[in-house]
Chains A and B, each alone.
Chain A
Amino acid sequence: MKQKKMYGIISACILLLIAVSARIVYINRDAGYGMPKTVYYDFGETVPLGDNFQIDKKKADGYTARILDSQFYTAKEARETFQLPDHKEDLPADGFCILHVLFTNEYNENVNNEGIAVFYLPLISDDVCLLNLDEEIYGKLNPKIALGQFESFSLEKGTSLEVWIPYRIHDDNLAPPFVSDMDMFRKKKFYMKITSYPERKLLSISP
């Protein structure tokens, strides 16, 4: 009787295992479907945005991007370097990463509707994503970009523009105990994501 009960339990367990495995295989049959293909590019490489979306369905086919330089600043360093006014004593960030990027429009003729969505170019590392841009520093560094074109801009065909993009680094992302905040970030390998789908193009921001 006891042995019968044992066989019953073992059979039930095996059946449950088969059912669960079948369900997991079924649910995960297309887990890779719809995922973007990630392509990495070296620092300084000129990369075409191509027929890919940034974050919205508007594309910027014909544009290229090239990282010229990248610098990390603490809030104090940023205040001194960019001569921010006194009322910005308490900057809304603990540090900044400032990218110097060259955008070129090689053949896109749709100037009014397509361009570079600066605010949707996140900085990505293995395990962190910096999304927030600092409006004040952006405006100070990019006087050529007209007011109201903060989120995006477009270029005439055959023209280029150097843009400085300041990413905020917040305290929330920082400081495990016993380790200096900015040093951790400076040691990390970051990429700027210029397109998200179907190709996820990541440009290295440092050599």
Chain B
Amino acid sequence: MHHTYSLELKKAFRNKWFFISCLIGIICAVCCLVSSILRLYEFSDIDNMMLELGFDAHVYVKTAYSTWLGIDAFSLGASMFFFLLPVTCSLVYGWSYAEEKVTGYDKLMIARCGRGTYRRAKILALFLSGGAAASIPQIVSFVMTLCFIPARRPLPEGNIYNAVFPCFLSFLFYTHPLLHGIIFIAIDFIMAGLTAVLCMTAADLIKKKWICVLCPFILFLLVEQILNAFGIYRLIGNTDYSFFYIIRGVCAAARPSWQLLLIWGIALLLISSVNELLHKKRDIL
């Protein structure tokens, strides 16, 4: 049984798509860093101008905590990273189950270790590899940003466009910014992991492996469009329920809140759980 788990984990983490996914994320992180550095130079000019005019620029504190990938509200790199996250986290290993079904490899594995163990091992590998594809670029981004921009503690009056009230854990951003970053990376790990697991459900319905990989992304876009089209997001609080925004630790277009994260987490978990239950039922019958 352990052999099946370790085999699946090896297959998930030692394939070229894992590196490609991380590379896409790291490219976004580099774009974000370049734009942050350019923006700081731009603001430096403004700061100098303000000082010449007699203004005190100290309130506009430049800090690494507000310019790394997870918390950057402005850069194209950060927006691209979170928009593509459902694709990159599924790209790592979301194709494998569909492929193994087509080639018949799944039957071999089921004969060797049983359907339950095989599927559980697959789900674990999908969850961990998807989570890693979301968190590795963010960690790399944070370290890269620390190499160029000092990690000063943000002030509410100087960083009014980042994690502002009532964003989830916004108070931590100004009191313990490092902890705030770590918690959001962990949240993204879980959400991306659950998203990647959706590919398993898709593979039970669709044979084409690349369509399975794109399924979570298409689903999230559809949900966003439906919520926007019918104005459902305005019914309970004036906020956006889009998956692409709530996983960010910043009030970019929507305000992430623990309620929304919980709803999305439960919904993703429910889809996969129902699929597993149906599968079990089909096996018994």
Contacting A at CB under 8 A, from B224-276, are 236-239, 255, 257, 259-260
User: Which one of A60-68, A76-84, A172-180 contacts B?
Assistant: A172-180
Taking CB atoms, residues of chain A closer than 8 Å to B236 are 177-178
Q: Is B54's CB under 8 angstroms from A58's CB?
A: yes
Q: Is A177's CB under 8 angstroms from B260's CB?
A: yes
Number of A-B contacts (CB under 8 A): 106
CB nearest neighbor in B for A200: B155
Q: Is A27's CB under 8 angstroms from B148's CB?
A: yes
Q: Tell me the dominant secondary structure on chain B's binding face.
A: loop
- Complex CA distance for A128 and B171, rounded to whole angstroms: 9
In the complex, whether A193 has a CB less than 8 A from a CB of chain B is: yes
Q: Is B149's CB under 8 angstroms from A27's CB?
A: yes
Taking CB atoms, residues of chain B closer than 8 Å to A56 are 54-56
Q: Which of B59, B153, B170 has the most CB of A within 10 A?
A: B59
Beyond A53-B56, A55-B56, is A127–B146 a contact (Cβ under 8 Å)?
A: no
CB nearest neighbor in A for B163: A127
In the complex, whether A196 has a CB less than 8 A from a CB of chain B is: yes
CB nearest neighbor in B for A58: B54
- Chain B 20-60 against A: per-residue CB contact (8 Å), 1 yes, 0 no? 00000000000000000000000000000000001110110
CB nearest neighbor in A for B159: A129
Query: Distance (Å) between the CB of A173 and the closest chain B CB?
Result: 6
Q: Is B156's CB under 8 angstroms from A129's CB?
A: yes
Beyond A127-B156, A178-B237, is A57–B55 a contact (Cβ under 8 Å)?
A: yes
Q: Is A24's CB under 8 angstroms from B156's CB?
A: no
In the complex, whether A197 has a CB less than 8 A from a CB of chain B is: yes
Q: Is B157's CB under 8 angstroms from A175's CB?
A: no
- Complex CA distance for A174 and B166, rounded to whole angstroms: 7
- Chain B 138-151 against A: per-residue CB contact (8 Å), 1 yes, 0 no? 00000100111111
User: Which one of A1-9, A104-112, A118-126, A137-145 contacts B?
Assistant: A118-126
> A residues near B, CB below 8 A?
20, 23-24, 27-28, 30-32, 34-36, 53, 55-58, 122, 124-129, 131, 171, 173-179, 184, 188, 193, 196-197, 200
Kindly list 8 other residue pairs between chains A and B, CB separation below 8 angstroms, not including A27-B150, A28-B146, A196-B58. A20-B147, A24-B143, A126-B175, A127-B173, A128-B165, A173-B164, A177-B260, A197-B58
Q: List 14 A-B contacts (CB under 8 A).
A: A35-B152, A56-B54, A57-B56, A58-B54, A124-B157, A126-B175, A127-B165, A131-B160, A171-B238, A177-B236, A177-B237, A177-B259, A196-B58, A200-B155
> B residues near A, CB below 8 A?
54-56, 58-59, 61, 143, 146-153, 155-157, 160, 163-168, 170-171, 173-175, 236-239, 255, 257, 259-260
